[in-house]
Structure 1
Amino acid sequence: MKIEICVQDLDGVRCAIEAGADRVELCSALEAGGLTPSAGLVEAAAELALDAGRQDFVHVLIRPRPGGFIYTPGEIEVMRRDVRQSLALGADGVVVGLLTASGDVDVAGAEALIHAAGGTFVTFHRAVDAARDPLQAVDDAARLGARRILTSGAARAAGNGIDMLKRMVAALPSEVSVMAGGGVTEQAVPALLAAGIRDIHFSGRKLMVDSAPSGPGGGDGIRSVTHPATVARMVRAMRTAKAHMTIGPRFSPLCGE
């Protein structure tokens, strides 16, 4: 089982490393569903992972704006450049997702981004959950070259999408993994593993109030941050659930409060 944590700053990357997570999805603006992070953050995160001896650790979300997953040619060109820049800065993979107005995978747009990745690992994200036919969408994404599908099984939370997740796992070749993400809870982990899921994605974040003044142009001062205790607890729960399914050593990660 692989554990991916969605983070939006270096503190989140450090927490994921300390907790024993297998990788991070690096983004910004999680309150908006996640957007492409800055070049500086990508480079610093890649260096941090390298210094920690972690390989295949930093996967960068490529999403230029909030809202739906139907993109203009200009937006796709920006995304293509972001893919190339992120990989040049040391990212190990990218996370993309595009749909057409009819609710199908945008084949031409996805091909352009996967081609820009040049053979580097590509995850197709939860755009499939907004697709007209999620099963067809994951099949299309896999045929185009995506090697992992991030999905809640087209449900609001992955724990409620077990039946669809099972169908996705069964429909895809073994080299393409289905990663459950979206509202993942400790209680849902055993059922997800029983459904054949071997990759789990969560953020482990909480809202905090920034005590520093932001002024009229700085927003309301409320932001989300990776919460070390939540991350450690979730990782521990996942390792424990796996240990109950297979014979092997238990793992108790530590992540500072």
Structure 2
Amino acid sequence: MTALEIAVQDVAGAITSATLGADRLELCAALAATGGITPSIGLLDATLAAVPSSVGVHVLVRPRAGSFVYEPDELAVQVRDVRAAVRAGAAGVVVGALRPDGTVDRDAVARLVEAADGREVTFHRAFDTLTEPAPAVDELVSLGVVRVLTSGGAARSIDGLTRLAGTVAHSAGRLEVMAGGGVRPDDIPALLVTGIDAVHLSASRHVDESGGPGGGSAGYTTTDPGVVAAAAAELGRHGVLDPVDRLQPS
């Protein structure tokens, strides 16, 4: 069965997503403003206390917005954040690091996997900036990464179907492929045809509230129950496909 992962930024969103059918949560902060950065340990503790243990809480570990090429001190912070998330009880972490040439930073990822101490490690959408995803899949498998989040290199997953299918085919069951990036519930049937293992979406809506001078960007995003329910319904209707129905890579 194809899993449903919802990116959440608060306890209310975590409870909503778990109640409406999410199998897994990616816990993050500042999703709309930054694409997601590391959430606080307080938020992780509260989320773990609020949702059933059957719903895995995976923590995004990303120290800042922008490039996925990190200085040594930035990597050291991420290693500490991974260890802290594991100690708090996270089921897994979501990480990613690249070299300046745009390839996987093998040494950095190895350190992050080691810090995860056996918890599941997902490689995030840094994967979508790679020009050659197939060798990266092989490298990530060898490093102990269990899952990759990808839009197929497109701004929206629905526009990256061919590359998604190719990544699934090359992974050949060694690595879970999770489609994410601008996913809407009505995109899900087409995404499933690629053979993906999971669907990831933020399922969010904008709340227009100003913080006043010094409060940063006006408004924020939070989980939209209607979008979560619609995504779960799509997976309930379309979550199992016969292999012959899957889109083949070109």
TM-score of the pair, normalised by structure 2: 0.92
> 1:155 matched to which residue of 2?
154
Residue equivalent to 2:6: 5
Contact 1:6 1:25 in 2 (8 A): yes
1:63-103 deviations in whole A, cap 9, x for unaligned? 00000100011000000000000111111100001101000
Q: Shift of the alpha carbon at 1:137?
A: 2.0
Partner of 1:102 in structure 2? 101
Partner SS, residue 37 of structure 2: coil
User: For residues 138 and 151 of structure 2, what CA distance do their matches in structure 1 show?
Assistant: 15
Matching residue within 223, 226, 231 for 2:228: 231
Partners of 1:219 and 1:185 lie apart in 2 by 28
Match of 2:153, SS state, is: coil
Given that 1:125 and 1:149 are in contact with CA atoms closer than 8 Å, whether structure 2 keeps it comes out as yes
Letter in 1 for 2:31: L
| Residue in structure 2 matched with residue 189 of structure 1 by the alignment | 188
Matched ranges for 1:198-209 at <5 A: 198-209=197-208
Q: 1:39 aligns with which of 32, 37, 41?
A: 41
- Residue 216 of structure 1 and its aligned partner are, at CA, apart by 0.9
- Note closer, same or farther for the CA distance 1:176–1:209 as it changes in structure 2 (3 Å cut): same
Number of the residue aligned with 2:247? none
**Other-structure match for 2:124:** 125
Structure 2 counterpart of 1:126, one-letter code? R
> In the TM superposition, what is the alpha-carbon distance from 1:23 to its structure 2 partner?
0.7
Q: Which letter does structure 2 place at the counterpart of 1:18?
A: T
Q: Distance in 2 between matches of 1:228 and 1:44?
A: 20
Aligned residue number for residue 254 of structure 1: none
Q: Single out whichever of 158-167 and 34-43 deviates more from structure 2.
A: 158-167
How many residues were matched structurally?
Answer: 240
Equivalents in 2 of 1:150, 1:15: separation in Å?
22
Q: Aligned equivalents of 2:201 and 2:184: distance in 1?
A: 9
Report what 1:70 is aligned to: 69
Paired AA for residue 116 in structure 1: A
Question: Deviation of residue 135 (structure 1)?
Answer: 2.2
Q: Deviation of residue 141 (structure 1)?
A: 1.6
User: RMSD between aligned alpha carbons?
Assistant: 1.4
CA–CA distance in 2 between the matches of 1:140 and 1:109?
A: 12
Q: Which residue of 1 aligns with 2:212?
A: 215
| DSSP-derived class of the 1:206 partner | strand
Q: Does 1:167 align with 2:169?
A: no
Preserved contact between residue 22 and residue 55 of structure 2 (Cα < 8 Å): no
- In structure 2, the residue matched to 1:90 is 89
The whole-number CA distance in structure 2 between the counterparts of 1:178 and 1:215 is 41
Instruction: Give aligned-pair identity as a percent.
Output: 43
Unmatched tracts of structure 2, length 5 or more = 243-250
CA-CA distance at 1:225 after TM superposition: 0.8
Are the aligned partners of 1:134 and 1:154 in contact in 2 as well (CA < 8 Å)?
A: no
Tell me how far apart the structure 2 counterparts of residues 163 and 207 of structure 1 sit (CA, whole Å): 31
In the alignment, which residue of structure 2 is the partner of 1:24? Answer: 25
CA contact (8 A) 2:25 2:57 kept: yes
Deviation (angstroms), 1:198: 2.2
Alignment CA distance shift 1:115-1:220 (3 Å):
closer
Q: Is the 8 Å Cα contact of residues 169 and 197 (structure 1) preserved in structure 2?
A: yes
Runs of 4+ in structure 1 deviating by more than 6 angstroms, as ranges, are: none
The 2-side partners of 1:120 and 1:149 are apart by 15
Give the Å deviation of 1:242: 2.2
- Say if 1:102 and 1:132, in contact at 8 Å, map to a contact too: no
Corresponding letter in the other structure for 1:14 = I
> Shift of residue 241 of structure 1?
1.8
Greater relative contact order (CA < 8 Å, ≥ 6 in sequence): 2
What is the letter of the counterpart of residue 43 of structure 1? D
Counterpart Cα distance in 2 of 1:126 and 1:135: 15
- Equivalent residue letter for 2:6: I
TM-score (norm 1): 0.89
